[in-house]
Chain A
Amino acid sequence: DTAVSQTPKYLVTQMGNDKSIKCEQNLGHDTMYWYKQDSKKFLKIMFSYNNKELIINETVPNRFSPKSPDKAHLNLHINSLELGDSAVYFCASSQMPGAETQYFGPGTRLLVL
């Protein structure tokens, strides 16, 4: 059973399109995260939700909008995709905010053409 799952695994799209990435965790955790790993392999946090409420919002363009319908799901919607949005996006979860261990999903590889 996959603890943190993401769909799709790969996403190729044109500039200007709107796309969504979905994340689900079956660990019963309260906190979920979105990270972006760029071509230089640096991994940076974008957002964090605790029990459906936003608790971390890094300096991310407002074209990126996370949505948490329930505490097991955290989706990422991206409007007007740009070339620079090409990256690997990782979802993660933890038992609570600031918990010692975060569990990461397998990543979604987004390529914007």
Chain B
Amino acid sequence: DAKTTQPPSMDCAEGRAANLPCNHSTISGNEYVYWYRQIHSQGPQYIIHGLKNNETNEMASLIITEDRKSSTLILPHATLRDTAVYYCIVRVEAAGNKLTFGGGTRVLVKP
């Protein structure tokens, strides 16, 4: 699975959009980009995933660059409850393939 690089931490103002970058320059053509988050003392929570098209769901939007070497997770209106560690993961969707979590980005949403 390709390695990802994320900033270790970032702050965001409540009510504003939070843009979380992720670099995955060695991503393969069949590897998806996943985002999970872990709120303090809880298990990780799936947010969104995509292959090459931009994706949106009720939690967030995922923007993947045309060359697929980087992506951005957008939380459109950050709330205090969005304070968490956000993990960007790339992997092939196949049996036996695992989610490999890196260090993630620690996002602090401030009032």
Tell me, yes or no, whether A107 is within 8 Å of chain B by CB.
yes
Chain A 83-107 interface 0/1 with B at a Cβ cutoff of 8 Å (1 = within) = 0000000101000111111111111
B44 at the interface (CB under 8 A from A): yes
Expressed in whole angstroms, the minimum distance between the Cβ of A11 and any Cβ of chain B is 15
Is B96 a contact of A104 with CB atoms below 8 Å? no
Residues in A whose Cβ lies below 8 Å from that of B11: none
Which chain B positions have C-beta within 8 A of A58?
A: 98
Q: How far is the CA of A29 from the CA of B10 in the complex (A)?
A: 35
**Is the pair B34, A48 in contact by a Cβ cutoff of 8 Å?**
no
Q: A101 contacts B46, CB within 8 Å?
A: yes
Given A41-B85, A100-B34, A100-B49, verify A106-B43 contact (CB < 8 Å): yes
A58 to B87, CA, bound (A): 21
Asked whether any CB of chain B lies closer than 8 Å to the CB of A43, the reply is yes
Assess A97 versus B95: contact at CB under 8 Å? Given A104-B44, A104-B45: yes
The answer to whether B43 touches A56 (Cβ under 8 A) is no
Name A37-63 residues within 8 Å CB distance of B: 41-45, 48, 50, 55-56, 58
Q: Are B103 and A50 in contact (CB under 8 A)?
A: no
Is the beta-carbon distance between A107 and B34 smaller than 8 angstroms? no
Can you give 16 contacting A-B residue pairs, CB < 8 Å? A41-B85, A42-B102, A43-B87, A43-B101, A45-B98, A45-B99, A55-B95, A58-B98, A90-B43, A97-B96, A98-B96, A98-B97, A103-B46, A105-B43, A106-B43, A107-B42
> Interface on B for A, CB 8 Å cutoff?
32, 34, 38, 41-46, 49, 85, 87, 92-103
